Structures are given as C-alpha cells and as structure tokens.
Copies of this chain bind each other. A is one copy, B any other.
C-alpha cells in the first residue's frame, strides 16, 4: 500500500518558527513506514534542510519583514519526499551558486550546499507571488 502524507504549514516570517518546522520534519521521519536507513539521521537531515530553506526565505527573500508569511509544504508519496518552501522575494539563481570555499573560512554560504548534499534534487523557480525552492529525496 502506498503511504501518503501531506503537511502544509504557514507561519509568520520569523526565525522563532524554525524550530517548529524542523520538529515537524523530524516527526515525519520518525513516523514513515519501512524506512531502511537510520531514522534519527533522517530526522536530523529533514530538520536541517527545512531549517536552511526557511531561514533563507526569511533572511534573504522576505528580508525579515515580520508581517510576511512563510509557507512550507512537505509531502510523501511513492516513497518520494518532496519539500517546498515558498518565499515572496526577488529570487536568485540557485544553479550559479559556487560550492563553499573549503580553503578560506567563510561565515556564510553553507546552506544551499548542505541542502544539495542531503537531497536528491533541488530546484528554485518563480511562483505566483514569489519563488519556490523544491527539494526531493527518495526514501527507501
């Protein structure tokens, strides 16, 4: 039988809610049926990619405006996990981002690298009133 889960979340555009979104990701990881891998590792990874993507939406796109809203959708079907994080900003070119410079110590620039490393497929595209970062991973 096909396990289908959908969770759709809207919260104020504030870093205070990063923990809530991350925890929901962890809860989903711990609930999935028949996951063969290390569940606690998966829980950390989902928490992390959700936190990174949402922090980017808050800090780079919605620019900290606390009256804006962040919309995150998490769905699981046919063993594919799909996470979408919507922002209301100007957008950026995710494909032209360089990898972090591992020689020179930078404070920033590890978020998208982490997401790319942990997920199978990452896209960032225009959407109705902004953009959507979409991340997919097959979980067996």
Contacts and interface: CB of A to CB of B under 8 A. Distances in A.
Contacts of A94: none
A44 interface: no
Given A23-B27, A31-B19, A7 B8 contact: yes
A6 B5 contact: no
Interface string A16-48: 110110011001100101000000000000000
A20 to B, nearest CB: 4
Nearest to A1: B66
A10 B5 CA distance: 6
A33 B16 contact: yes
Given A16-B33, A31-B20, A6 B4 contact: no
A66 B28 CA distance: 18
Contacts of A28: 20
A5 B11 contact: yes
A67 to B, nearest CB: 7
B7 A7 contact: yes
